[in-house]
A = this chain, B = another copy of it.
Amino acid sequence: MILKFKFSMHLKRPTLLIDKQKCLANIRLFVVKAVKYNLRFRPHFKTHQSAEVGSWFREFGIDKITVSSVMMAEYFAKNGWNDITIAFPVNIAETDEINILAKQIKLNLLVENVEAVGSLSRTLKNPVGVYVKIDTGYHRSGIEVEKYDAIADLINIIRRAENLNFKGLLAHNGLTYLQSTPDAICKVHDESLTKLKRLKDSLKKAGINPEISIGDTPAVSLCRNFEDVDEIRPGNFVFYDLMQQELGVCRYDQIAVALACPIVAVHVERLEVVIWGGAAHLSKEALNDEGGGKVFGKVVLLDKFGWTLPLDGTFVKSVSQEHGIIKTTPEHIDKFSPGVFIGILPVHSCLTTIMIKEILTLNGEVIHTMNC
């Protein structure tokens, strides 16, 4: 028999449950890894965007963080963080806000073109650290890693500018998310590092000695090669999610968040369950189902300890704005009835966290984020 979830009385609406013990274990793993490989650990806080969750990192001595916007930097600065990298190509429409922040804290910015560097050098009144975004093959943003001369030129413009202190090269190898095995992840990780090393060697000849900052949860979780890397900036690992589980990066029992959703209807004949929990809560991020369909989340039962492992053959097969439709099996259909809350492990925890207004730990503590 499954004992009842302790805080059922707190559940009214779709609510993100956070298992703090799992978060702490996930953070610890990465702290240990950073120490082992002598890496500066600057976790990305875009995954949780929460002062409370952020405070859990302090217990491990972490005092440097990564964020993805000026507003997020402002929020965490207000909550006592004073060494922050905004790891998104700088938005020069926010120069005023950047100036204020740079006066208050140690701020690092990311650039990838002369337009942004020019604008910063004209308008900044306080010193900032500057990283150059390098594209090692993912082709989302950054200067292509092979363009040694263009990169050296940009770095020299930065070095000549007042208030811009060149720090190093920053990369995000999103290719790791496109692989299907841990070996494949570490192969594209190695390739990315080799390219960065060649770039660094070339820059050294031009009298530039940049540090190297990398940051994707799959590679940092799984790989053992961190040659020439100075800093890691993973974020997702604090919660993990189904995408990471599918990549082989984490186990189901390491996923530290589940969306508690009320069941509003059960359709026994077609083995489907309707929950209040849709694209407005889980996003439209999906994995591919073996049968050619989509998986928008996997289903767990809430219990005395938090939640169970996923029920086999049971998943969110579609979402609209507020509805989620769960497909289940004859074995499990009896576990669902209207009014009961069940849990959904999200495909992409970062997107779920930013959309959810109600967050609760397994100790019944209400958690706030910068969005609520």
Contacts and interface: CB of A to CB of B under 8 A. Distances in A.
B276 A321 contact: no
Interface stretch (A91-99, A194-202, A207-215): A91-99
A276 B322 CA distance: 26
The complex is assembled from copies of this chain, and their number is 2
Contacts of A115: 337-339
Given A337-B115, A338-B113, A91 B276 contact: yes
A264 interface: yes
Contacts of A280: 351, 354
A270 interface: yes
What size tier do the contact residues of chain A reach?
35 or more
Contacts of A264: 88-91, 116, 141
A69 B141 contact: no
A112 interface: yes
A11 interface: yes
Interface in A24-78: 46, 68-69, 71
A224 interface: no
Interface in A129-186: 139-142, 174
A272 to B, nearest CB: 8
A13 interface: yes
A86 to B, nearest CB: 11
Nearest to A261: B91
Contact of A279 (B90, B113, B285, B322): B285
B13 A71 contact: yes
A145 to B, nearest CB: 14
A88 B13 contact: no
A297 interface: no
A22 interface: no
Contact of A262 (B93, B337, B338): B93
A108 to B, nearest CB: 16
A346 to B, nearest CB: 13
Contacts of A46: 321-322
A350 interface: yes
Contacts of A141: 264-265, 274, 323
Contacts of A139: 270, 272
A266 interface: yes
Contacts of A276: 69, 88, 91
A140 B325 contact: yes
A13 B274 contact: no
A105 interface: no
A106 interface: no
A355 interface: yes
Interface in A346-363: 350-351, 354-355, 357
A198 B337 CA distance: 30
A261 to B, nearest CB: 10
Contacts of A12: 91, 93-94, 97
Given A13-B94, A140-B323, 16 more contacts: A12-B94, A12-B97, A13-B91, A46-B322, A69-B276, A91-B264, A92-B262, A92-B338, A93-B341, A115-B339, A140-B320, A140-B325, A141-B323, A283-B284, A321-B351, A321-B354
Closest 6 CB pairs of A and B: A89-B264, A284-B284, A115-B338, A92-B339, A141-B274, A91-B262
